[in-house]
Amino acid sequence: MKWDHRIGRRLKLHDLHVLLTVAETGSMGKAAERLAVSQPSVSKAIADMEHTIGVRLLDRTPKGVECTAYGRALLRRGRGAFDELRQGIKDIEVLADPGQGEVRVGCPEALAAGLMSAVIDHFSRQYPRAVVSVTAADNMAPEYRPLRERNVDFLIGRFPSPFAEDDLGAEALYQDRIFIVSGRKSPWASRRKIDLAELVGEPWLFSPRMFASLLADSFQSAGLAVPKATVTSYSVHQSINLLATGRFVAILSGSVLRFNADRSSLKILPVDFVTRPYTIGIVTLKNRTIGPVVQSFINCTREVSRPMAKTN
């Protein structure tokens, strides 16, 4: 297939954008509404692409349309092409004004409530005109999709070791672990030593799911019943506020505690228990251009998290 004969003259970026929109909406009609064009023009753009490439890109079903294997292959590369063009525009903007740019990062609530807030504070002082968008990514592996679809520039969170995603790159920042904590008003806060068994019947806050799983492993390895949650919440900030009442105990990560313990009146309880450490790091998409402002944000993340690597 020669570029000049088959692609360069006949495969248009507009048509590729139409295909992307149809794939996202699952409907020719919905794609037409989003693009503010007529449905026949959407159908024609798809038909022209299929004729140009010589394969069917979409299957029509009673529920709408879905991509064929050929369509999915083209979309993977198409998203990359549009992303590189967008990155090129960003690079031009940065060349005109190095202080501008956009950073899109995905991270879990536990990191957004601690490390990421510190990184943004540090970064925004150096780049006050840059825009930072933080997207929820509470479970790293299922959240690889927005990275692959180029909706975020990178992810930061927990990832397994060894890391086995061929199209992604992973950089470890530090080893984190969970701690059992209470508010400083809690009767437990004044104790010098606490046996894990004493806490089985206490009112527990569980947040997020991964922490609860690690805590369950700790109690089970000690031959104890797993505590029942009095409150289960996705929000780390809500858990911190409830801990401040002195009525609950909870598990929080070292990342959360390092940036919130003092100002939120939290106390790490002196409990001897076994827990598995886990790796916190940055995940990027291989063979993708990273703009200067995003690279500066990643460098800032490394700098702010460096003390965590020394203390864990």
Fold of 97-162+286-311: D-Maltodextrin-Binding Protein; domain 2 (3.40.190)
Write down the pLDDT at residue 304: 95
Same fold for the domain at 3-77 and the one at 178-276? no
What DSSP assignment string belongs to 214-246? HHHHHHHHTT-PPPPEEEE-S-HHHHHHHHTTT
At 198-254, the pLDDT tens digits run 999 999 998 767 778 888 889 999 999 999 989 988 888 899 999 999 999 999 999
Assigned token pair, 120: 């943004």
What DSSP assignment string belongs to 125-186? HH-TT-EEEEEE-SSTGGGHHHHHTTSSSEEEEE--SS---TTEEEEEEEEE-EEEEEETTS
Most confidently predicted of 16-25, 176-185, 259-268? 176-185
Angle between helices 28-35 and 13-25 (to 10 degrees): 120
Burial 1-30 (b: 16+ CB within 10 A, else e): eeeeeeeeeebeeebbebbbbbbebebbeb
Fold of 178-276: D-Maltodextrin-Binding Protein; domain 2 (3.40.190)
At 79, is the secondary structure helix, strand, or coil?
helix
At 96-137, the pLDDT tens digits run 565 678 899 999 888 998 899 999 999 999 999 889 999 988
- Give residue limits of the domains in the chain: 3-77, 97-162+286-311, 178-276
- pLDDT band per the 50, 70, 90 thresholds, residue 197: very high
CB 107 within 8 A of CB 116: yes
At 294-307, the pLDDT tens digits run 999 999 999 999 99
CA angle 129, 133, 139 (to 5 degrees): 155
- The dotted CATH code for 3-77 is 1.10.10.10
